[in-house]
Amino acid sequence: MTQISDFLLLAIVLVNFALLGATRLSTMIRAVAVQGGLLGLLPLVLHGGPSLHAVGLAVGTVAIKGVILPRFLTWAIREAALRREVEPRIGFVGSLLLGVVAMAVAFAVAARLPLPPELARPLLVPVALATVMVGFLILTTRAKAVTQVVGYLALENGIYLFGLTLTEQVPFLVEIGVLLDVFVGVFIMGIVVFHINRAFDSLDAEQLAQLKD
């Protein structure tokens, strides 16, 4: 079981780099969909096998983060017929290098964190922290509104990963509530993205800087 979960976690790390290196919006959305699917499988193999709680969580996560939200975002960019390039503020090489730095920092921090033995899985916490940082990186360095939604999703994925260390502490109802909030949040963001395009003829978040003092 540990091997499978380690494999899933490594795959999540690879997806982080795919997100940072993606040049097309559709690639980014597909990458974050894969990440959502991988996340959904993790509860099944952590904590000694699938329980009802784990299965429910897995189904909900795969459905929402792996299928529904990515499809919705793909629909939004297709209907909006926008240009497909990602347009980073920091180049792709620079982004990937920052991703490596984030990974190193995450491992260094996680090694120092006081974790109880049953939570101290070698990979879970560092991968969670790295994913949070990559989410932040995308949020701050990618100009388009859609890419910021993807960044938010990656950030949420990282936090969700950290939450997986605590399945006994965080009850099912709260996990589902969090998932529902993310779902509705991204759904509204998608609708706004769609309207932004109609109003501005572009999804560039830099155009959203008319309100100032």
| Binding positions for another protein, rule: CB under 8 A | 114-116, 119, 132, 139, 145, 148, 152, 155-156, 159, 162-163, 165-166, 168-171, 173-174, 177-178, 180-181, 184-185, 188-189, 192, 195-196, 199-200, 205, 208-211, 213
Q: Which residue, 24 or 195, is less far from another protein as judged by CB? A: 195
Cβ 212 to another protein shortest distance, Å: 9
42-47: long-range contacts at Cβ-Cβ below 8 A with a sequence spacing of 24 or more?
42/5, 42/8, 42/9, 42/161, 42/164, 43/164, 43/167, 45/1, 45/4, 45/5, 45/8, 46/1, 46/5, 46/121, 46/124, 46/164, 46/167, 47/167, 47/168
Q: Which residue, 103 or 203, is less far from another protein as judged by CB? A: 203
Cβ 184 to another protein shortest distance, Å: 5
204 DSSP β-pair partners: 144
Q: Which residue, 52 or 199, is less far from another protein as judged by CB? A: 199
144 DSSP β-pair partners: 204
Cβ 148 to another protein shortest distance, Å: 6
Q: Which residue, 35 or 165, is less far from another protein as judged by CB? A: 165
Nearest CA among 6, 30, 12 for reference residue 132: 12
Cβ 198 to another protein shortest distance, Å: 9
Cβ 112 to another protein shortest distance, Å: 10
Q: Which residue, 100 or 184, is less far from another protein as judged by CB? A: 184
Cβ 201 to another protein shortest distance, Å: 11
Q: Which residue, 3 or 114, is less far from another protein as judged by CB? A: 114
Q: Look at the chain and count its residues.
A: 213
Torsion angle (degrees, nearest 10) of CA 114, 115, 116, 119 = -170
CA–CA separation, 184 and 207 (whole Å): 25
